[in-house]
Structure 1
Amino acid sequence: MNVDRHPGGRLRAALGWCGQVLSWVVILGFTAIITISVLIPRIGGATPYVILTSSMQSAMPPGTLVVAKPVDPETLGVGTVITYQLNSGDPTVVTHRITEVSITSTGEYRFQTKGDANDAADAKLVRPVQVKGERWYYVPYVGYLTNLVTGSQRQVFTMVVVVGLFGYAAWMFLGAVRDRRRKATATTTVTTTATISETERELVDA
């Protein structure tokens, strides 16, 4: 005997399954974003930035999350993408590609940079003290999400989201276990009832 013959039961089961799949997709998506934008940079000693202009299209359009890792400026060469301060000590940064490396008469390195989508090179040469890091990796458009929360709020938000996601995942897992047990109990009950009915029928026939 099948307890799910009613169409409404099958529909509810299908909707429940779709809801669980969607929930896990959302959980995995948020986990991935937190991992690439916060956890990996922190473990690797890198810093995440968000591309706000179109100077590095098409590879890094506006909204791209770019993670820069500290580097010895003397190891940088032509073709390397770096994140640097517009002016030393200024928090405003730019992520462009090195097109030329030169050394001054005093032995200090200078870097000519240019955005991939720009027609002309940047007006000012970059000094080693301005370099924040070399591009480690980047993810297009993810920066729009991470840019909503900045500074100390990002750490609090990250902890809240992580705890919330793991809590929700545990709740979903426990719910699935309860559903399986209920189905197993219902199946056992139906089987037992059917067996009793068969026994009673045999006794009547006898």
Structure 2
Amino acid sequence: MTAGHVVRRRDLRERTGILWWAGQVFSWLLLFIVLALIAVMIVVPKLGGAKAYTVLTGSMRPQFPPGTLVVVKPIDPELLRIGDVATYQLVSGEPEVVTHRVAGIGTSLAGDQRFVFRGDANNVDDQPVRPEQIRGKLWYSLPMLGFVNSALTGQQRTWLTWAVAGGLMVYSVVMFASAWRERQRKGQ
């Protein structure tokens, strides 16, 4: 047996040992988790025309504790029903929003439609809300991911998406180059 055969057997053993497999499983799992997080926090809401918000208070406990990521899809307020969870602006045109459950739908003395919201953990209704204040209806929610959402600004999300895409491209080039080198070695 030549020295080349010993090296090849050792390389093969290193690539199929328990540590090699553990590294492979870990790297693929990590990749899957990062891609899934990017998908549910950035890509899916963008494609669906939705917006992600973070629950900051305990007013929607137990279903939506603080730190929950809520993804809200725009909806015609006429389609909201009592029991729906929706996000609305506290003051029309201002960025501060609240996500609560529709507790009532009615009209003002002037005949304008008004929505009454209440947090699931609250004993008191919120102030009546006009239709133009409603940002959308809850599409889906994910516990704990709101903390990540709050930590990232819009520009950071963009950079993160590009960094992951670039990392995946580099990873694929390395994998193709490694496979090509392996084929070249086997051909010798």
Q: TM-score range by the shorter chain?
A: 0.7 to 0.9
Q: Is the 8 A contact 1:74 1:109 kept in 2?
A: no
* Equivalent residue for 2:116, pick from 112, 118, 127: 112
Shift of 1:49: 0.8
Distance 1:55 1:162 in 2: 37
> Could you say which structure has the larger radius of gyration?
1
Residue segments in structure 1 that go unaligned for 5+ positions in a row: 190-206
Q: Is the 8 A contact 2:55 2:70 kept in 1?
A: yes
CA-to-partner distance for each residue in 1:150-196, whole Å, 9 max, x for gaps? 1223222222223223433x1564477469759x94xx99xxxxxxx
Q: Is the 8 A contact 1:68 1:83 kept in 2?
A: yes
Matches within 5 A, 1:141-156: 141-156=144-159
**Residue 131 of structure 1 corresponds to which residue in structure 2?**
134
CA-to-partner distance for each residue in 1:87-130, whole Å, 9 max, x for gaps? 111111110000111112433211111111223222x1111111
* Equivalent residue for 1:167, pick from 170, 181, 186: 170
Task: Name the amino acid aligned to 2:58.
Answer: S
Are 1:103 and 2:107 an aligned pair? Answer: yes
Distance 2:109 2:59 in 1: 31
Q: CA RMSD in A?
A: 2.7
Task: Name the amino acid aligned to 2:23.
Answer: G
Distance 1:153 1:102 in 2: 41
Structure 1 segments of 4 or more deviating over 3 A? 3-6, 9-12, 171-182
Residue segments in structure 2 that go unaligned for 5+ positions in a row: none
Q: Is the 8 A contact 2:14 2:20 kept in 1?
A: no
**Residue 195 of structure 1 corresponds to which residue in structure 2?**
none
TM-score w.r.t. length of structure 1: 0.76
**Residue 30 of structure 1 corresponds to which residue in structure 2?**
34
TM-score w.r.t. length of structure 2: 0.83
SS of residue paired to 1:147? helix
**Residue 80 of structure 2 corresponds to which residue in structure 1?**
76
